[in-house]
Chains A and B, each alone.
Chain A
Amino acid sequence: MKDEVTQRHDGTLATTLASEMVRLRLSMLLINDMIKQKAFSVPIHLALGHEAIAVAVSKVMDDNDRLLLTHRNIHYNIARSFDLSAEIDEYRLSKSGQGGGAFGAMNLTNPEAGIVYTSSILGNCLPVAVGVAKALAVKGHESATLAVTGDGALEEGAFYEALMMACSLKMPIIYLIENNEWSMYTRIDERRCDVDLSGMAQTFDIPYVHLEGGNPEQYVEVLASVRKDVVSKSAPAIVEVSLSTLGDFHVHEENKPPRYINYHHGGVAALKYEGGPVIEESARDPVYLASQAIPASQWGAIVASVRNKLGPADR
């Protein structure tokens, strides 16, 4: 898959990653339009704003690496596959879907692309990753297992148990925490005490790395280094990435102060495929940041190329 991504574009790594981010963004906006048209019965958790980390993870994965995901898995599934129709068909629970219509959205996997397990249960995939990593070791693969979760799952006992098992058994696992500061509709500071992830990593004597800024090139560089480290030392690491889940909005009601609503799942009324790929001209939007890092003409060509490949919005 890594080579495939590279081969699809002749440009630099930055251009390749930017193109992939646009593909993810426009694919999700296309699906968002379909959600609004009530095309699906299954709940879909869009990951608008999560594109930089998804393309970086996909880029650094080796053939025998494994990826375990959560209910918000759409960005990784798109990053690891170029068949958007198969993904959409899966959301339609069609036999032609990526999982034969047997998994829907929250449990969508793609074993051929290394996505062997997804779970809609908070923290559930983290200890499963230990077993996957062990199986790869039994089979003699020198590979890494990546388990992605959100900041809400850190509060589950499964996170601690998974670290305990992974460290005790010396498993090469990257625990990747997508920290958007929200658990559904509650911010971290509204629901729990502070958790020092770096301190937790120190307790287990494993590396901790913090990513922020939405720069996929930097993410690739760091993740590749962490990946090399966990494989060579056969030990886990924690990577935390700060990001924003876009699609949030304010509710305005008469005689009341505006209420802020975090995006959790479903369609985003204010966003349209045709209006993309940039959602927000701010540092919260990694696609916007990418658009600013690339000459305008080149950016326009990337967007046009991706739109051309994705086809018409009306599916």
Chain B
Amino acid sequence: MTYIESINTSICQRINEADKLVCFGQNITTASCLSGLTRNLPVGGGIEAINTPNCENAMVAFGFGMMLEGVDSIFFVKQLDFLLLTCDQMVNTYNMARQSGATGSFTIVPVVVDSGFEGPQSRLNNLADYCSMANMPGYALADPTASQAIIQRHLIAPGFRIMAPSQRLFRSEAETGPATPLDDEASIFELATGTAATIVVYNYAWPQARKLRADLAADGHNAALFGVAESNSTHYAPILNSLKQTGRLIVIDDSRSHNRPADRMRAAASDAQISYQALPLYRNITPDDIRPNSDQFNIDSKAVSAWLANTHSGTNGHSNG
């Protein structure tokens, strides 16, 4: 089973449990069904699927309108950048919907185009930036196991959120490894335990983080590994508790967001007066970067292993890798 087949299965299973639901989006029941994301939606009874015209602003408003009236809906979107056309609804209408105590569920499932061959346009690997506009809950569906828990908990639940699969991961293997939710909100997951370092991964770099953790273990460094799925999550306790033990933090974020959730977590660690050394692994974003390119995010495991070997835990100050 591939990653997208697993996500699709989790979505269909959750929809099957609903009584009334309006699914909508462009081409959601036609051709490839958004490359498999919306294949075999269990339509019938109270479950409806609508192939809409191309008017994203109105489509987001459509979802919020139903939410105001207590009717649940899911908007499937081929690319996150399509939602740039909807910023007014995302901010202003969302603000009104939550202020009004709207009881319906509205979930937007956009695919994050995190490969760079689209060129200057149509790529927006900035889920955290996007969700920062109105402090929207935004879940990166980076890992099939974690995604199953996220979809089960949030796909149809009162309120609004975005949950976004990664285009790059579509054809990857669904079998990745364990992911244990550490809170009721399925916002943070424990992927591995260890005391050599605390690795925290954001956005869609979970496969790279799992590989790094395995490579470090092979070198004798058994690190704890946490995956943070929700960009606005403030559930830092498990991470900070681990960091107190390890004194070494490796943060991984393959996004292009400048609103990095990791920065807020590190601020929380500083507020808690935890002494640690840090190795942030982020993209090196340059002006040439918007040319069509593979946009790979690779981690040099040997360099990280060397950093661990040469870094004492629990020392003062934060270094940047």
Residues of A within 8 A of B (CB): 66, 102-103, 107, 109, 111, 116-121, 124, 126-136, 138-139, 157-158, 160-162, 164-165, 168-169
Contacts and interface: CB of A to CB of B under 8 A. Distances in A.
Contacts of B53: 164-165, 168
B67 A161 contact: no
Give the top 3 A-B pairs by smallest Cβ distance, nearest first. Answer: A131-B65, A135-B69, A127-B61
Nearest to A109: B100
A139 B65 contact: no
A165 B66 contact: no
A161 B58 contact: yes
A134 B57 contact: no
B52 interface: yes
B309 interface: no
B88 interface: yes
Contacts of B61: 124, 126-128, 130-131, 158, 162
Contact of A168 (B52, B65, B92): B52
B308 interface: no
B22 A134 contact: yes
B23 to A, nearest CB: 12
Interface string B55-79: 1011101111111111101000000
B58 A116 contact: no
A158 B58 CA distance: 7
Given A121-B88, A126-B61, 15 more contacts: A66-B69, A119-B92, A119-B96, A124-B88, A124-B93, A127-B59, A128-B61, A130-B61, A131-B66, A132-B68, A135-B65, A135-B70, A157-B57, A158-B57, A165-B55
Interface residues of B, number: 31
7 contacts: A121-B92, A128-B65, A130-B65, A157-B57, A158-B58, A168-B53, A169-B52
Name the residue in A136, A160, A161 with the highest tally of chain B Cβ atoms < 10 Å from its Cβ. Answer: A161
A116 B102 CA distance: 10
Contacts, number: 107
Interface string B90-131: 001100100110001000000000000000000000000000
Interface of B: 20, 22, 46, 48, 50, 52-53, 55, 57-59, 61-71, 73, 88-89, 92-93, 96, 99-100, 104
Contacts of A161: 55, 57-58
A131 B96 contact: no
Given A124-B88, A157-B57, A164-B55, A138 B68 contact: no
Contacts of A119: 92-93, 96
Contact of B68 (A102, A117, A120, A121): A117
B65 A134 contact: yes
A127 B20 contact: no
Given A119-B92, A124-B92, A165-B52, A138 B20 contact: yes
Contact of A128 (B22, B93, B99, B104): B93
Name the residue in B63, B92, B100 with the highest tally of chain A Cβ atoms < 10 Å from its Cβ. Answer: B100
Contacts of A162: 58, 61
A158 B92 CA distance: 14
Given A131-B61, A135-B104, A116 B68 contact: yes
Given A119-B92, A124-B88, A130-B65, A139 B71 contact: yes
A216 to B, nearest CB: 29
Nearest to B69: A135
B58 A117 contact: no
